[in-house]
Every structure is written in C-alpha cells, then in structure tokens.
A and B are shown apart, each in its own frame.
Chain A
C-alpha cells in the first residue's frame, strides 16, 4: 500500500500509468486498527452467509435428489381434507349388513339480516321454500324471513334430497348447520339386540348401551354375531305364533353351540329403534314398557319341564342314575298342601329315558332327591344358572336369577322340573349349549367370533353324559312331547316346557309360559334354539291346547327348515343306519314309547 502511494506521488510516472487502487493511507493508528477489525468482521459475515447458502444448497440436493419420496412422506400435511370423525361407530351383522349407522341430517336456518339486505320479497321466497319443504307453514317461513334476526331454524334433520333441493334454490341468508343422526336401516328387525340412542347419541339399550364407550370412541364397525336373515325368520315365526295363539308376547334365541355366538335373538312385542317408545315415567304406557322389555335377557321365568334337561344331566353325570335306572311314578308325591303329579301320568315305574320323554314330574323329583340338594345346587351353579349371565350388555339389562335361599327337599323336587327357580332364557340356552356340545360351557356373546377361532370354555359334564343327553333330547322329538318340532333331515332334539305363571305368589292355571329348547342336528349339534310364548291361548287347530308341544314346537320346526340352509347345516338321511345307531338308546331297543 505504501508503494502505491509512493507511485502516485512520483512526478516522473508515465501519463497512461494508473496506479492500482489502494486504500487511503490512514495515518492515525487507532483508526487504522478499527478499519482492519471491521474488514475482518465483514469477511467473517460473508463467510457465514456462504456457509448458510451452502447448507441450503446441500439440503436441497439431499431432499430432491437423494431422499426423494422418503422426505415427502415425512412432511406433515395439516391442510389435507380428512373425513369427519363419526360420532358413533357403525353396527353391522355377521355378514356386514348395516344395523346402525349415522347420517348427516343438517338443519336449515335463516339469517334474516343477510336475507333482507338482498332486497328480495319474503312472500315469494317463502313460497319457493314451501314448494321444496311442503310440511312447513308459509306464514311461519315468511315471518322468519322478515324477522331481522340472524338465526332462526326453518327445519331440523333434513334428508339429503331436501338439503339438495333447498341448496338449489340459492337463496342468500338461507344456511345449513351440520348435524348427525343415528339411524337403524333395518328398523325393528333386531331392536333389542342393537338397542337405540337418545338425541345426544348416548346408548340407551342393547349393544348401543352395553358397548357405548367403544362405539363412541371407534371408527371401525362393530360386527355382531347376529345374522339378519336368521333374525328375520325367527321374528317372523314368533309373530306367527303370537297371532295364531293370541299370545301376550313371544321370545326366541338361536346360539352357536361351539362358540356361544347369538345368531338371532328376538323378543315380541318390540319397537322401532328409529322411533323408540317413551321411557319417561310420566308418558310411558304399559305397552311401551312391554315393547322395550327384552324377555331374553331381562325376563325371568320359571320355565318348567325344560329344566329336566339339567336334572337328568346332573343324575347321569354324577353317577346317581344310569340310563337303565327306574323310578316309581305310580302315584304323586304329597308335600304339605301340594301334590306333585304328572301331566299325562303313566302310573307305573319309569326308566330315565321314559321319565325324560314323557316329562314325568314325579320321576324327575325322585331323581333329584336321589342326587340331593348339595349336588343339585352345585351343578346348577356350575352351569351358570345361579348368577347373571356374562354378556356385552349393561348390567341393568341382565336379570339375576331367583332361587331359594335355603335349598329344602321340596325345593330340590320342584327345581327338578323347573319350578321354584326363575332364570332368563339366556341362562337356559347357554347351559343347554354346554349340555349338547360335548360338555363345555362357553359364555354367550353378541359379537362375531372370527372364523376358525376357538372359544375357551369350562367343562361342566363329561362327553359321555353329553352324548346321552343328545340321545334323550332326540327321543323327545322322535316319540315324546315334541313330535311337532321335527324338521325332516335336520335331526332336531329338545325338550318342551309348559309352566304356569307365578303371579304374586300364586300359580295361574290359565296363564302359561310355553317353551321349547332344542338343538340340531342331534348327532353333531351346531345350533341350539329356544322359543318361548307368553300366555298363549289354545285354538281349534291345537284342540284347545296351549302347551309347548302345540305352540312353539311347530314353530321351531318351521324355523329350522328355513334357517338351516342359511346357516350351512346340511340335511341328513335320518333313516341311514349310522345315524339311527348314533342316536339310539340301547335300553329302549325293542320297546315302544306310547305317548299321548
């Protein structure tokens, strides 16, 4: 720098010679030092900027060329459209048929302030709106349009078509507000199973109530074990029984014996969950109560002779009796004021299969006495008949069974034929499934069990007893009280039960509960089914009888014939030697049962 300065000062330098630029000479050493440090800072800043740019460039190359799609996938996309979360998950049947879902049902409202600014004639616009929504009153709409208020509902819960029509009118100030409604497209088909919701989308009954939390939180549909087609058949035939016998109500349940899945469950009279009956104590009628009441899970019944299934299984399984054991049923048993009698008494000693097939109360009572109270109570407890059934329903909807606190000999005898103990039909079917399926008790479930999955259970009787019970139940249909339950090819077996209703501590002779519990096919049971009719009245066709053999047994036959092809149960030739042999009771070979 100093040399350049010297050149400039040189008077002898050539004219064209231009000295190279150079910083001014600062003589003040303080200033020079300051300048020098500034220069260094500038360089440092430039270097820093360069570095930043290099990083940016490097990153660009990295993102675009090297990482590519992997980087794109990491980038959050906050502004993307996502489906609005449903307030409640759908409920579907085992085949995916929709049973409960949500639908948009927007409300249409008027912002009168905005409308009036357009200067349109409220009369003419009101006419246009009524053309689309004819159930609204013209004067009402006109009033709302001209009110000057910013918000007044015109109509709530529009259908998609109505929404489109109103939107197409293109009236400024007529707006929509979003809302969702729970709808049940199958109507009353499975009212008690599915249940219903209130206006705040809170489950009030059935699965909607039992699994309320799961349904509210989830997006995935809840698949029930229910089969809508089987459910329809069950309901249809039960309704026929109600109409035919002028009954108060009826109920039915069909369960898979190997998984505990409830494939159909109906209780009549029922209701439409889209329009549930009032549950307000002030406005609720007797019929409303009856319709909402689920006879299967909440109804407790002294079911009568169907209990002989458990009584017989108990004595056979414990070894108290054998199939060949004989009990004297010649005359009734007197206990205090009461006498235990047979409905169609044979008045002779009867073997165990005969007691079962003729449904002898005397024989059953004697069998139970032989086993004793302790054993009876323990056995019924093991079958789950003394505690509420574990199922996916709210506790309120599952009834507790009623049984004597002290198990006296008289209780032992009456419980043997299903009196003095009240259980729900759900108890009955769960326990019967265990009796026929080889002896494994599985909890019932309303949810679909994935195909191929085995449901764990508890052994309650031996396989041998289960086989004996299957043979006995088949005998009842072949030549006992339930001949009308036969569905050719499906090897139906079961037990009838006709019990008098216990009203206020008295048995009413004319008020019956007739039930039939059966399974099919008896050589290898797949489904068990219970049908029950409440207060049937005999008619001409049934020769005045309102017993189970005349009321629900024929219905069972019709139901099985209709549902077996749907459930994949193949008909078999019941006259084939293998099947005959597999269901034959050795002690009865050569004997003929004379049932009247």
Chain B
C-alpha cells in the first residue's frame, strides 16, 4: 500500500509541476504577444494622432478658401438654391400637346404622359452652368452639420474668380508648423 502511495504522490507531484510549468510558459508567451501588440497599437495611435494634426493643419479653412479661389471658384449657395423639401422642387412644364396627324402610330400605341421628373428647371433655365453639389468649406472630421439638401448650381461660369492677392506663404506641413512654434519661443 505504501509503495502505491509513494508512486501516486510522485506522479502527482511531477504532473502538477509539469502543468504548472506549461501554464506559466504559455501565459508568458501570451503576455509577450499582448505586450508587443499593445506597443504596436500605441505606436499606431500616436502616428494617427500626428497625422490627424497634420491633416487638420493642412485643412485650415483659410487655406482651403485660398485654394478654392485659385483653382475651383466654388461659391456659397444662395438661399434660392437651397431646397428645403421635395415639394419645393418645381415640376417640368407639361410638353405641348402632340399633333395627332404628325405621329399617329406613336400616339395611338402609347400616349406619352408629361414626365413629372423633379428638376432644377427654374435655376437651370436661367443659369446654364453644370449642376453639381457644392460642399461648403468644411473641416476634417466635421459631421454633416446641415440637415438641408444643399443642391446648388456652380456659379463658376457666371461669377468671375474673385481678384484676390495670392495668399501669403502659409506653412505647408507639420514641419513648418513646428518651425513656427519653435521660432516663436
């Protein structure tokens, strides 16, 4: 009995020791993995933060406005160009009645009803510029603040670009921002 007892205890001790070692080893491995993952995450977060700063810097409304004045000449939508509901979109005027002699077959086969497609007829007729969506000067990370449907006609064709002196040399990247900060202190 004592021999069996001894063997039992020996096996138990060895087994528990082994298990202990294996568990500890695995945990250490996982810990290392976790640590390196977190290190990478922190580094990634830091570079995202730096890039966000850089992006914000490059998106200063003043710079964007200057670029707009120089290259694309977009203008703020005038109140008339902002439609607040679908009902305020005017319908296309009904086409003149088709002469029955001129197109007898078509008229009989399928009478064409006036198309009630919503268009910007009123603005488009007075302004031949291409219809496009104009985004107001917006900053990064800005949520779509306006709940209105801003549909407007680019005024590029009608409005001459504002004669503005070229913007004073603004720093173009984070390096220059730093140079500014450091230069001032």
Most buried by A among B39, B50, B136, B139: B139
Q: Are A568 and B139 in contact (CB under 8 A)?
A: no
A299→B178 CA distance, assembly (Å)? 32
Is B111 interfacial (CB-CB < 8 Å)? no
User: Would you list 11 pairs from A and B whose C-beta atoms are within 8 A, ordered by A residue?
Assistant: A81-B42, A95-B139, A98-B141, A101-B53, A157-B178, A162-B175, A231-B61, A275-B180, A565-B82, A571-B79, A571-B82
Q: Are B79 and A79 in contact (CB under 8 A)?
A: no
Q: Are A232 and B137 in contact (CB under 8 A)?
A: yes
Q: Are B53 and A274 in contact (CB under 8 A)?
A: no
CB-based closest 4 A-B pairs: A275-B184, A489-B79, A232-B61, A571-B79
Q: Of B39, B76, B138, which one neighbours A561 at CB under 8 angstroms?
A: B76
Q: Of B20, B62, B141, B147, which one neighbours A96 at CB under 8 angstroms?
A: B141
Binding site for A on B (CB under 8 A): 9, 12-13, 16, 19-20, 23, 31, 34-35, 38-39, 42, 45-46, 49-50, 52-54, 56-57, 60-62, 65, 76-80, 82, 84, 136-143, 145-148, 150, 174-175, 177-185
Residue-wise, chain A 403-420 has the 8 Å CB interface mask toward B (1 for contact) of 000000000000000000
Is A160 interfacial (CB-CB < 8 Å)? yes
Q: Are A95 and B143 in contact (CB under 8 A)?
A: yes
CB neighbours (8 Å) of B136 from chain A are: 229, 562, 565-566
Q: Are A82 and B42 in contact (CB under 8 A)?
A: yes
Q: Are B180 and A159 in contact (CB under 8 A)?
A: no
CB neighbours (8 Å) of A162 from chain B are: 175
Q: Of B31, B139, B148, which one neighbours A570 at CB under 8 angstroms?
A: B148
Given A183-B53, A185-B56, 12 extra CB contacts under 8 A: A79-B31, A81-B39, A82-B38, A97-B56, A98-B141, A157-B181, A158-B178, A229-B136, A232-B137, A274-B177, A275-B184, A565-B136
A50→B31 CA distance, assembly (Å)? 32
Residue of A nearest to B137 (CB): A229
Residue-wise, chain A 163-206 has the 8 Å CB interface mask toward B (1 for contact) of 00000000000000000010101110100000000010000000
Most buried by A among B142, B175, B179: B142
CB neighbours (8 Å) of A567 from chain B are: 145-146
Closest chain B CB from A569 CB (angstroms):
8
A348→B108 CA distance, assembly (Å)? 75
Q: Give the total number of A-B pairs whose CB atoms are below 8 A apart.
A: 164
Given contacts A81-B35, A566-B146, A568-B146, contact A183 B177 (CB under 8 A): yes
Q: Are A487 and B79 in contact (CB under 8 A)?
A: yes
Most buried by B among A60, A64, A158, A566: A566
A259-300 at interface with B (beta carbon < 8 Å)? 272, 274-276
CB neighbours (8 Å) of A83 from chain B are: 42, 45-46
A95→B144 CA distance, assembly (Å)? 9
Q: Are A274 and B184 in contact (CB under 8 A)?
A: yes
CB neighbours (8 Å) of B178 from chain A are: 103, 105, 157-159, 181, 183
Given contacts A157-B182, A159-B175, A565-B150, contact A570 B16 (CB under 8 A): no
Q: Are A565 and B77 in contact (CB under 8 A)?
A: yes
Closest chain B CB from A273 CB (angstroms):
9
Q: Is the interface of A mostly helix, strand, loop or mixed?
A: loop
Is A19 interfacial (CB-CB < 8 Å)? no
A96→B31 CA distance, assembly (Å)? 35
A276→B7 CA distance, assembly (Å)? 81
Residue of A nearest to B134 (CB): A565
Given contacts A50-B9, A156-B182, contact A79 B35 (CB under 8 A): yes
Residue-wise, chain A 566-596 has the 8 Å CB interface mask toward B (1 for contact) of 1110110000000000000000000000000
Closest chain A CB from B72 CB (angstroms):
17
CB neighbours (8 Å) of B182 from chain A are: 105, 156-157
Most buried by A among B50, B53, B79, B174: B79
CB neighbours (8 Å) of A56 from chain B are: 16, 20
Residue of B nearest to A161 (CB): B175
Given contacts A81-B42, A275-B183, contact A565 B76 (CB under 8 A): yes
CB neighbours (8 Å) of B50 from chain A are: 103-104, 160
CB neighbours (8 Å) of A161 from chain B are: 174-175
Is A507 interfacial (CB-CB < 8 Å)? no
Is A57 interfacial (CB-CB < 8 Å)? yes
A227-246 at interface with B (beta carbon < 8 Å)? 227-229, 231-232, 236
Q: Are B177 and A562 in contact (CB under 8 A)?
A: no
CB neighbours (8 Å) of B84 from chain A are: 570-571
A147→B12 CA distance, assembly (Å)? 66
Q: Are B139 and A229 in contact (CB under 8 A)?
A: yes
CB neighbours (8 Å) of B9 from chain A are: 50, 53
Q: Of A96, A104, A561, which one neighbours B79 at CB under 8 angstroms?
A: A561
A56→B137 CA distance, assembly (Å)? 68
CB neighbours (8 Å) of A31 from chain B are: none
A156→B182 CA distance, assembly (Å)? 8
Q: Are A236 and B180 in contact (CB under 8 A)?
A: no
CB neighbours (8 Å) of B139 from chain A are: 93, 95, 97, 228-229
CB neighbours (8 Å) of A229 from chain B are: 61, 136-139, 142, 145
Residue of A nearest to B150 (CB): A565
Q: Are B46 and A104 in contact (CB under 8 A)?
A: yes
Given contacts A57-B16, A157-B181, A183-B177, contact A97 B23 (CB under 8 A): no
A544-567 at interface with B (beta carbon < 8 Å)? 561-562, 564-567
A570→B148 CA distance, assembly (Å)? 7
CB neighbours (8 Å) of B49 from chain A are: 101
Q: Are B145 and A95 in contact (CB under 8 A)?
A: yes
A489→B34 CA distance, assembly (Å)? 59
Residue of B nearest to A93 (CB): B139
CB neighbours (8 Å) of A104 from chain B are: 46, 50
CB neighbours (8 Å) of B76 from chain A are: 561-562, 565
Q: Are A185 and B137 in contact (CB under 8 A)?
A: no
Residue of A nearest to B147 (CB): A568
